[in-house]
Amino acid sequence: MEYYDTDSVRLSDDENSVIIIDQTLLPNRTKLLYLSSAEEIFEAISSLRVRGAPAIGICAGYAMYVISRRISSSDTEEFLDKLSQVGEYFSSARPTAVNLSAAIGRCLSAAREHKNGSAAEIREILKQTALNIHLEDIHMCLKISEYGLTLVKDGDGILTHCNAGPLATSRYGTGLGTIFLGSERGLKFRVYADETRPLLQGARLTAYELDKAGIDVTLICDNMASFVMNEGLIQAVFTGCDRVAANGDTANKIGTSGAAILAKHYGIPFYVFCPSTTIDLSCRSGKDIPIEFRDGSEIRTMFFSSPSAPEVKCLNPAFDVTDHSLITAIVTENGICLPPFEKSLRGSLKK
């Protein structure tokens, strides 16, 4: 079995828990968590034990089903009201990634469409909806990876930022999917992985996944991206994203926009990979995308044996917005979207 044939999020056999790989412990320790309560699920999402927009969506789908089994009510309206409250609670865990709220909304819509059924029947609908969200993501990741292979060639150097592999999605991944699929087919890529401060998703997760799969990966600090580009080591930049606005602006892990600006300067194509579920046409531009701000202690103390800075104020946005003018193409399971993105993104959603 290949590394990317595993699932980082899945439903337990007894259907009472959502099983996740605790990503905060990687790469030094691999631990499965069984999340059974709403509080445990909320904490896992907010603390990044499960992360990556598609993976959060998959987790949310299973979570809605698991928690529905804990709602005891013979009155359907009361059952749906309690389910909606749970959905609102989960949605507040991380506001930027649209897949979280989208998966919850899909589950609630499916439940309401069967409001004339019993609670048991609605639970079965929720289970099937969650399974569909997961299976669709597996299919989407493979399609995205196939399209991505048309953008690169054997021997290319690829810069990555954050993590958009199997841990963040399902199976192949989005931003890393092309690299995994190409490697499977005999292509040799040279990957330069930004460490991605302050939470080190590139160092802890991307480098881990690529190395485990036997792919040539070199870890660099975020501020070394300009150096490797200037040296001619990079032929493309691959990133995932957590939300795409109607005009093509994308929100992704903090530091992504800086990599895009550098790529533009050096004439290197900058590609964003995401499932169509990440496209949010209700956001006209990146200015409409809510940005999550996290505790400053992540900058000063996380991964350090002692604080790395004095107790000064810290600004810790989890995401930034990459302007559409810096993006060469947005790759979804429905094809490669090119500028003008207002037209191509809408067209991709109709396929």
The model's pLDDT over 175-197, given as tens digits with 9 standing for 90+, comes to: 999 999 999 999 999 999 999 99
Residues 304 and 344 in one domain: yes
pLDDT digits (tens, 9 = 90+) for 61-113: 999 999 999 998 778 999 999 999 999 999 999 988 789 999 999 999 999 99
pLDDT-flagged residues of the chain (< 50): 1
Q: Which residues in 80-116 are b (16+ Cβ under 10 Å) and which e?
A: bebbeebbeebbebbbbbbbbbbbbebbbebbeeeee
Indicate the SS3 state at residue 301: coil
Looking up tokens 């592999």, which residue turns up? 165
The pLDDT value recorded for residue 73 is 79
Residues 122 and 166 in one domain: no
Distance from C-alpha of 148 to C-alpha of 151, rounded to nearest angstrom? 5
Looking at residue 77, which CATH number applies to its domain? 1.20.120.420
Residues 196 and 341 in one domain: yes
The pLDDT value recorded for residue 2 is 52
Residues 116 and 263 in one domain: no
Rounded to whole angstroms, what are the CA distances from 219 to 94, 196, 198, 263? 28, 10, 15, 18
Rounded to whole angstroms, what are the CA distances from 29 to 23, 32, 66, 208? 9, 10, 26, 11
Residues 330 and 273 in one domain: yes
The pLDDT value recorded for residue 350 is 81
Cβ atoms of 111 and 122 closer than 8 Å: yes
Among residues 82, 113, 142, which one ends one of the domains?
142
Residues 65 and 157 in one domain: no
Residues 185 and 320 in one domain: yes
What are the DSSP E strand ranges found in the chain? 9-11, 18-21, 32-35, 157-160, 190-194, 217-220, 236-239, 243-245, 250-253, 270-273, 279-280, 319-322, 329-332, 335-337
The pLDDT value recorded for residue 72 is 85
- Phi/psi of residue 98, each to 5°? -70, -25
Residues forming the active site: 242
Range of the domain at 252: 143-349
Residues 244 and 274 in one domain: yes
Residues 102 and 214 in one domain: no
Residues 75 and 150 in one domain: no
Among residues 113, 142, 171, which one ends one of the domains?
142
pTM given for the model: 0.92
DSSP assignments along 223-266, one per residue = GGHHHHHHTT--SEEEE--SEEETTS-EEEETTHHHHHHHHHHH
Residue closest to 87 by CA, chosen among 69, 113, 65, 70: 65
The pLDDT value recorded for residue 5 is 55
Residue closest to 49 by CA, chosen among 167, 203, 224, 144: 167
The pLDDT value recorded for residue 1 is 32
Among residues 142, 158, 183, which one ends one of the domains?
142
Tally of domains in the chain: 2
The pLDDT value recorded for residue 6 is 66
The pLDDT value recorded for residue 259 is 98
Residues 186 and 316 in one domain: yes
Residues 92 and 201 in one domain: no
